[in-house]
Structure 1
Amino acid sequence: MSLSDPIADMLSRIRNAVRNEAKQVDCRNSKICAGIADVLKQEGYIRDFHVIDDGRQGILRIELKYGPNGEAILHRLDRESRPGRRVYRKVEDLPRPLGGLGIVIVSTSRGVLSDRKARTEHVGGELLCVVE
């Protein structure tokens, strides 16, 4: 079975796992999905992630993070750019979700970055997803 959009599949798995209050979720591994997981870890939305070798492309195991009373840290995780409609933005036009409290994950020429890091490095790119 081939996936036409592995990023959307990963985001849906994370959304469903958060809704079910799971401790971890497994996704297919790819460079872009590992980059997204790395940005989520750096920004404090997930606890950690590991790549598990399964003899093929690997499995990305994401350990989810919750608040002190068990409340979800991730409230919104939406895909912006899709295979049928790519969305690119200059650094000046990057959105600020929740007035700067949320992040936008951007695929740039310098790798997958959060919108804050893209602004400091002054690079734009493809908007992958919005995290709140």
Structure 2
Amino acid sequence: MKMNDLTADLLARLQNGIDRRKEEVLVPKTKMNMEILRVLKEEEMIIDYTEVEEGLSVEIVYDGKEPMVTHFKRVSSPGQRIYIASKDITPVLNGRGIAIISTSKGLMSGAMAKSQKLGGELICKIW
């Protein structure tokens, strides 16, 4: 079966893995997924991700028994792109979460995009 929105699939798999308290989650390997995982690693929301034969293996961060990340929200979708100017970027959950934005300089967190005065497509929010 062909998957249309691989980013939504990535977020759903991560959410399901966290809900089931898994230490590792297997996700499809795409350039976009690798970039999203790179940003999550930079923001210390995942431990690491590695390439495996079946795709990408993501190690999830837990603080004791509680996950560091509990919610993933897809904002822009293939059918409805959502764009945001740098002046309109606001902190997610008063700074406890991040927004991932696709800018002309690549994918980055909302805080990084705002500091570089870059707007772009608002891919997702994670907290």
Whether TM-score is above 0.5 comes out as yes
Shift of 1:97: 1.1
2:59 maps to what in 1?
63
Q: Which runs of 5+ in 2 are unaligned?
A: none
1:78 aligns with 2:78: no
TM-score if structure 1 supplies the norm length?
0.92
Quick one: distance in 1 between partners of 2:51 and 2:114? 29
Deviation, 1:95, is 2.8
* Alpha-carbon separation, structure 2, partners of 1:98 and 1:37: 20
Look up the equivalent residue of 1:61 and give its one-letter code.
S
The count of residues paired between Structure 1 and Structure 2 equals 127
1:34 and 2:34 correspond: yes
Between the two proteins, what is the percent identity of the paired residues?
34
Superposition map of 1:1-132 within 5 A: 1-52=1-52, 54=53, 59-67=55-63, 69-132=64-127
Q: TM-score, normalised by structure 2?
A: 0.95
Counterpart Cα distance in 2 of 1:95 and 1:28: 30
After the TM superposition, which segments of 4 or more aligned residues of structure 1 sit over 2 Å from their partners? none
Task: Give yes or no for contact 2:91–2:111 (8 Å, CA) kept in 1.
Answer: no
Q: CA RMSD in A?
A: 1.1
Unmatched 5+ residue regions in structure 1?
A: none
